Structure 1
Amino acid sequence: MSIIRHEFEKMNVTKIKKAKGNKNLTMITSYDALFAKLFEEIADMILVGDSLNMSFAGKPDTLSATLDQMIYHTNAVCTGAPKAFVILDMPFGTYNNKDQALTNAVRVYQETNAAAIKIEGGEDRAHIISHLTSNSVAVIGHIGLMPQFVRSEGGYKVRGKTEEDTQQLIKDAIAVEKAGAFCIVIEGVMSDAAKRISEAVSIPTIGIGAGNVTDGQVLVWSDMLGFFESFKPKFVRHYMTGAQQVKDAVSQYKSDVQDASFPAKEEEY
């Protein structure tokens, strides 16, 4: 299969905002220097998602991720991909009020090279986003299905199934944009609703489980590359069978060790 790569262009907030209506943006998660380097010149944005708590640490949800963890992994990503536009996903409990949010966001900027942070919430968090952006912090919003709300919501629930809910999501998006966010992630939303949300704002929307009507897409790398075997979300497309390929490769390594065909003469000093 041939791979088409766009000419690498280092992204910034201005370029991302101008992409709306001009090109679909590609975002992918990464948690370490190795994979970040692989993604650096392909993806428009790299998100150090709190999803690392599940895909990297094996936890049942994202809620126990800490800011120390996020800063550690963001530094690894920034080291591996110094030219990338890197976003730190602010973990649960780090932005409950505007002063706490600013204190933690300042720490992120001082201790990492992250270009922006991501915050979950709509109208209810707009005042926090406004406080951050007015203090020179670049913010990506996140509305719809919000993983940090999984316990209070009683699970992961698709949004935008009713006109009332769709209207609320549109209000959320408009409030986030007015607060100064330069981009919005829309997760787990019916595609018809996601289209209306995207049309209601002038900043790009990045979908995950929201159809192809948004201004871009984001996926967790271990999902899209087939490394996560427990289940496959409906919105995920596997671009390789990573888990099986790794198992096959390690099995071949074991076989080569057992029959002494590895290391070969040319692999000796």
Structure 2
Amino acid sequence: MSKGSQVHALADIDLVIEPGEFVCVAGPSGCGKTTLLQLLAGFITPTEGEITIDGKQITAPGAERGVVFQQSNLYPWLSVLGNVELGPRLRGVNKATRRADAHRYLEMVGLADFVERRPYELSGGMQQRCQIARVLANDPKIVLMDEPFGALDALTRERLQLELLNIWRDTHKTIFFITHSVEEAIFLGSRVIVMSARPGRIVFDEPVSFSQQVGERLGAELRSLPEFTALRDRVSSKIYESAAH
């Protein structure tokens, strides 16, 4: 519940996320998806219950959690490289180590040739790649992503989805990903969760296997599979049903 506006955002949430899972969360607007992410990030605290990581209660932001926002939120006065190595620099990581790590993650997200550019010289998709690299450079256990591709065009979005899957496989990070796109949730997630209208409750929670097939099959091929479209329709129906109540 928000103390300022007294909005009952979430109710009866009981959620266990295993290390290495890619959890995608969908649901109608205003269902509490972002509130849940903010609780996991430690930006806000619950009025009831508790949130723990490895048995330790979350009461504030921490280095083991990194957040990728919908807008890139990069520092315009820093270069791409400077943005990515900022976190480690503030933590006192020596220059050689933090620079090597920054270059590694920029290579991973396809920005190796843009290290000296400023954020305003990048496209929206490239800015998001830089933001992802910046989060990864801090080496969090958990990456929290709040509709990171929502403002991008369809082609850029699909490209970044594939890059994110590759990063997930390479780094074995736990990812908690909020999206309004049912198709994106099913394509990316190893697990898909649907939340009801406010106060948000979990009304659907199932493992998904399509992300493990990317590479063996093309993205377009996966999205056209009968089992993919059947699950997409089932999840969509659950969202419409929960929004109507």
TM-score class normalised by the smaller sequence: 0.3 to 0.5
TM-score between the two structures when normalised by the length of structure 2: 0.36
Larger radius of gyration: 1
Greater relative contact order: 1 or 2 (C-alpha under 8 angstroms, separation 6 or more)? Answer: 2
